[in-house]
Homo-oligomer: A and B are copies of this chain.
């Protein structure tokens, strides 16, 4: 066990993957001598060489397209997209090639490609550096989508993603890169299961990535006021571990989902719809969503007005508990 930041935990996971399997190669912009703009690949090119850790010309479609070719050849490419907002030039290669090639070839060609994406806001960045595009990929058949919220998960899950024979979008909560935690390199747990972080009886809060910490803060604050909140960290976004959420909601009868991505068509909608389908008779209230708004991500000094925070989550907890508040009139009446 060592204490590492989340960024360092990804770094050590990548290091282990490179050491354990010589088919693993890293591709990305500025991942070599610079070690990536977040230093997640720090030291890896020095230790594994320029053939294993390759600085790429500046084109995301090119990077993913080249990864497809390397995967054809039996490599396990790990691509870094520098920021969430720069994944879109590669969208075609991801959804029309990476996601579909195993299906297209009836299983003959595997695409064990990991696409690492620092995502989300809260770091006061300029446009295109704070986005949460996970729903696009979760809606795309053939891809797996995961995210982590702790250094331990970051380390273990990046290695699981690389070891997985399917393509994995690996979303790293960039505002938590500097969060520290114990990491056991030998720990292992199922790749696609959610985790109940806090047990509770009254309300279930489902979160992932950067908002897990916020959800825990909200649960503690609610606890101080006498409400017992269960917090679930989804970890895997496709597939979703709805069994775990279902079990929790059958117990609590109330569900709050939070993410930074826009509400409309976000993962919160899928979770709400699926859980309503599975737990209809157990629900005491409609699931509530606390999300980024249906606007582009705003400028740095406005992001506090956009991001879900403790107060907005608590407000939703109140609402699903049937306590009158400002938004009560807006939902079921």
**A interface residue numbers (CB < 8 A to B):** 61, 85, 88-89, 91-92, 95-96, 99-100, 103-104, 127-128, 135-136, 138-142, 238, 261-262, 264-270, 272-274, 276-281, 283, 285-289, 293-296, 331-333
Contacts and interface: CB of A to CB of B under 8 A. Distances in A.
B141 A294 contact: yes
13 contacts: A88-B95, A99-B296, A104-B296, A135-B139, A135-B265, A139-B265, A139-B266, A141-B293, A269-B273, A270-B273, A272-B272, A272-B276, A273-B276
A278 B332 contact: yes
A266 B140 CA distance: 10
Given A276-B286, A280-B285, A289-B273, A265 B264 contact: no
A332 B185 CA distance: 40
Given A139-B264, A139-B265, A262-B139, A287 B276 contact: yes
Contact of A96 (B88, B264, B265): B88
Given A141-B264, A141-B296, A142-B296, 5 more contacts: A139-B264, A139-B265, A276-B286, A276-B287, A279-B332
B277 A286 contact: yes
B281 A332 contact: yes
A289 B273 CA distance: 9
A332 B269 CA distance: 17
A136 to B, nearest CB: 5
B270 A267 contact: no
Given A91-B91, A296-B141, A265 B272 contact: no
Nearest to A92: B88
B89 A92 contact: yes
Contacts of A332: 277-281
Contacts of A268: 273
Nearest to A331: B277
Contacts of A281: 332-333
B136 A136 contact: yes
B265 A269 contact: yes
Residue picked from A95, A264, A294, most chain B C-beta under 10 Å: A264
A261 B92 CA distance: 17
Contacts of A127: 100, 104
Contacts of A139: 135-136, 139, 261-262, 264-266
A96 B89 CA distance: 10
Contacts of A135: 139, 265
A296 B103 contact: yes
